[in-house]
């Protein structure tokens, strides 16, 4: 199997791509810069940096952190196998809002954000599917954030 076909086949197995037609996966594979691996404690991106890549995590665990002066860094969420890391590449101003730090050695498909956006513009069916996926993802994380804000386990007395 050629390297490209192998990449398409592997990308198709990622949970985020479930339900994508083979040609849609092929188009997405065109946007893949490569598969990257990181060691523990590596910083994948930093808040304020240019959000030019989309990461589909293949393994390991990555912490999404925020730093507050005087408080320090807090982990607000962890992302692991099969999940998407970051959507800032999709929306203006394409700037990361959080840090992403590797907790356990991780690997991910790295897609060029600009290429994905162009592909979505040119192929509206794929663009709609991608937007639906990311809307679902954002809605789920919004709901999770609301639950976190409720501080459900705090003492009420």
Partner 1 sequence: MQAVTELPTINPMAPVPHEVVGKRRETYDTMTLELAAPEPFESRPGQFNMLYPFGIGECAISISGDPSRTDRIVHTIRDVGAVTHALHALDIGDHVGVRGPFGTPWPMEAAEGKDLVIVAGGIGLAPVRPAIYEALNHRDRYEQFVLLYGARSPEDLVYLDEIKEWRSRFDAHVDVSVDSAPSGYRGSVGVVTRLIPSADFDPEHAVAFVIGPEIMMRFSVTELRALGMPRDQIYISMERNMQCAVGFCGHCQFGNTFVCRDGAVFCYDDIHSYLPIKEV
- Within 8 A by CB and 6+ apart from 72, the residues are none
Query: Of 17-25, 96-104, 109-117, 123-131, which part binds partner 1 (CB under 8 A)?
Result: 96-104
Q: Is 82 in the site for partner 1 (CB under 8 A)?
A: yes
Choice from 12, 30, 36, 77 touching partner 1 (CB under 8 A): 77
Dist. CA 82–CA 56, nearest whole Å: 7
Q: Which residues pair with 37 in a beta bridge?
A: 107
* Nearest distance from C-beta of residue 45 to partner 1, angstroms: 15
- 8 vs 100, beta carbon nearer partner 1: 100
Nearest CA to 144 out of 96, 80, 76 is that of 76
Backbone angles phi and psi of 135, in degrees to 5 = -65, -40
Q: Determine contact, residues 33/11, Cβ cutoff 8 Å.
A: no
How many residues of this chain interact with partner 1, rule: CB under 8 A? 29
| 73 lies in the binding site for partner 1 (CB under 8 A) | yes
Judged by the rule CB under 8 A, the positions of this chain that interact with partner 1 are 61, 63, 65, 67, 72-78, 80, 82, 101, 103-104, 140, 143-144, 147-148, 150-157
């Amino acid at each position: 199997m050629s390297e490209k076909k192998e990449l398409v086949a592997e990308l198709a197995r990622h949970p985020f791509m479930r339900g994508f037609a083979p040609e849609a996966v092929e188009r997405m594979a065109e946007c893949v810069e490569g598969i990257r691996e990181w060691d523990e404690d590596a910083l994948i991106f930093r808040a304020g940096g240019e959000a030019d890549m989309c990461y589909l995590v293949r393994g390991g665990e990555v912490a999404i952190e925020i730093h507050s002066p005087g408080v320090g860094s807090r982990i607000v969420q962890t992302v692991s196998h099969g999940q998407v890391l970051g959507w800032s590449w999709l929306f203006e101003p394409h700037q990361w809002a959080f840090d992403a730090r590797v907790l356990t050695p991780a690997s991910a498909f790295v897609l060029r954000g600009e290429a994905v956006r162009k592909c979505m513009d040119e192929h509206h069916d794929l663009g709609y599917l991608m937007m639906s996926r990311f809307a679902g993802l954002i809605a789920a994380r919004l709901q999770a954030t609301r639950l976190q804000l409720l501080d459900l386990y705090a003492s009420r007395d």
